[in-house]
Every structure is written in C-alpha cells, then in structure tokens.
Amino acid sequence: MFGQFWSGVLKPIHQLLAKGGSNCLACGKTISICVPGYSELCLPCYSSIPWITEPRCHICGRHVGCPDCSRKGGVPRSFVMNRSSVAYNSTMRQWLAQYKYRGHEGYSLVLARMMGRAMEQMKQELKPQGIKLDGVVFVPLSEERWRERGFNQAEELAKGAALAGRRAGGRLPLLNLLMRSRHTDKQSFKSRSERLINMQGVFQTLPDATEQLGRVILGTRRTGLDHEAVIRLLLVDDVYTTGSTINACAAVLQNICGQLGFSGEIYSLTWARS
C-alpha cells in the first residue's frame, strides 16, 4: 500500500523528467523538467513570464498605474477594453524580437498559447455580463513589413485567440477585414501624441470586409444564437503601448459594423502591455 502511494506521487515527476533533454527555446540550456503545455521552455524561463492576472486599469488592462485612460480630452476611444497576456519587460521584448525580426519561428506556437491563456481569462471576465464575441480580427501589416518578415505576427497571435475563444460548433471565426493605406515609421521611439497623429487615416477596410463579416453574422443570427443589434469583435495585436493602433483599427471596424446595420463593440487582446 505504502509503495503504491509513493509510486502514484512520483510517477508524474518521472514523466516530466523523462520528457526533458531538449534545449530551451529562450535560454538554450538543456530542459531537465518539462513544463506542461510549454515543452519548448525550461522551468526557469517559464517561471520568468510576467503574466498579467489582475490588471489595475480595467480599460487598457495595464498592470500598474495608468495615466492614459483617466486623461481627459484627446482622441475618443473606439474600443471597449484591452486585455494582455504579459507585461512587456526586457525578457518579453527579447522573445518578441526573436520572433518578429529574426524569424525565430519556434516562438510562434509559444506566443499563440500565451494568447490563448489570455483569451480564456477574458472569456471568464465577460461571461457574467453575457457578452459573447462574434469573431476575431487582427491588425494588418504594411506591404513593406510583410516583405521584410514574410508573416504577420498579429495574425498568428489571433489564431491562438480564435482557438481559445471557441464556442458551440468550433473556434471563433478569424476575419481579415483591415488593410494599411500607407506605411508608417516604427512607433517605438515616438511620444504618445506622435503615435496618435501617426495612426490617423492609416487603416482602411478591405474590399470584401463587409461581405466577410456579413456572412458570419448572418450565420449566427439564423441559428438564433444572438438577436442583439450589436456585433462584438476581438481585435488582436502584439503589444499595447498607447493604444493608438488599436483605437484606429477599432474605429474602422465600427464603421464596418454600421454598414451592416449593427452597432459595433470592439474588444482588444494583445500579447503584451507595456
């Protein structure tokens, strides 16, 4: 009896140890203990992830004090709220840089799973209000950025959110509704006001955006899942800094909803919050 007890206790530990041996995606060291769901990471690297579980700002999801959302005046907010998976510290900045700029595709699935985790948290937060999302949209890249990278990191992250946001019948629809009308300089070194100005008029609808969204909404309304005159979309991007990109995209998405005769509620989910 005693031996069976310890066998049951130690078996999961042995299984974790047995799965080790590969190199950690982040630090390169040998993985001795495999983290469930994150087999690419060693335990120390996984433990260093700065998850945001209780945001202090209920609008932008920031984990520390937020002066932006309480600031009066400025550009009207076109989205309901933002939530993020992690705080954008130096470690997370390195991970994203490896993925976006150095083409390290190994991070793709890890970041997508992290987005899925944040999506699950958002679902639990919205559930008491009876809020259900109709689809997932991602922030588009310019053609120049696409040629540089060969992929859109926001689209890849959106796939993780769409999968975690599944409802009866499958995952949430992943919709490609937006395009950039012009290339913009990197936002990294711009002030908040410069970012807001830089984003004005950047995003437009794709030619078939209204048709895409209309097909999704018609399907849900026909099955009687939702009779409200509101379309709720989740907008996905990699990093939320001032919210200028999210806000600009959300305004365009609201217009698309309006063309279908619905009001639009746009929710945002980003991988990191700076």
pLDDT band of residue 207 (cuts 50, 70, 90) is very high
Asked whether the beta carbons of 68 and 237 are under 8 A apart, the reply is no
Same domain, 13 and 84: no
Mean pLDDT computed over 124-133:
93
Q: Report which of residues 268 and 73 the model is more confident about.
A: 268
Tens-place pLDDT, residues 56-70 = 999 999 998 888 887
104: CB partners within 8 A, 6+ apart: 98
How would residue 9 be classed by pLDDT, with cut points 50, 70 and 90?
very low
Helix axes 209-222, 244-259, angle to 10 degrees: 70
Domain check: are 27 and 89 in the same one?
no
Q: Is the pLDDT of residue 191 over 70?
A: no
At 31, which amino acid appears?
Answer: I
Please state, in angstroms and rounded to a whole number, the distance separating the CA atoms of residues 205 and 190.
26
- Identify whether residues 27 and 148 lie together within a single domain: no
Do 88 and 153 fall within a single domain?
Answer: yes
Residue 38's contacts (CB-CB under 8 Å, 6 or more residues apart) are: 46, 110, 113
Residues 31 and 57 in one domain: no
Same domain for 38 and 154?
A: no
Task: Return all residues near 117 (Cβ < 8 A) that are at least 6 apart.
Answer: 51, 85, 164
The pLDDT, as a whole number, for residue 187 is 55
DSSP letters, 87-125, are E--HHHHHHHHHHHTS--THHHHHHHHHHHHHHHHHHHH
Verify that 28 and 105 share a domain, yes or no.
no
Distances (CA, A) of 268 to 37, 128, 135, 224, 238: 24, 18, 12, 26, 11
Say how many domains are in the chain: 2
Q: Is the pLDDT of residue 135 over 80?
A: yes
Domain shared by 71 and 9, yes or no: no
Q: What is the span of the domain harbouring residue 222?
A: 49-273
pLDDT band at 2 (very low <50, low <70, confident <90, very high): very low
Count the Cβ atoms, other than its own, within 10 Å of residue 58.
13
What is the DSSP code string of 149-194? HSS-HHHHHHHHHHHHT-BTTBSPPEE--EEESS----STT--HHH
Task: Tell me what pLDDT residue 147 has.
Answer: 86
- pLDDT band at residue 196, thresholds of 50, 70 and 90? low
- The model carries a pTM of 0.85
Give the tokens for residue 13: 């530990």
If you average pLDDT over residues 144-159, what whole number do you get?
90
* Same domain (yes/no): 63, 22: no
What angle (nearest 5°) sits at the alpha carbon of residue 251, between those of residues 247 and 257?
140
- pLDDT band for position 186 (cuts 50, 70, 90): low
C-alpha distance from residue 14 to each of 7, 19, 33, 123 (Å)? 10, 9, 9, 34
Residue scoring higher pLDDT (42 or 19):
42
For residue 166, the model assigns a pLDDT of 72
Residues 41 and 138 in one domain: no
Within this chain, do residues 61 and 42 fall inside the same structural domain, yes or no? no
Query: Which residues, listed in sequence order, are joined to residue 266 by a DSSP beta bridge?
Result: 233
Q: What is the pLDDT of residue 69?
A: 85
**Could you give the 3-state DSSP secondary structure of residue 221?**
helix
Q: Are residues 231 and 266 in the same domain?
A: yes
Look at residue 138 and tell me whether its pLDDT is greater than 90. Answer: yes
- Res 8 pLDDT > 60: no
Beta strand pairing call for 230-240 and 263-273: parallel
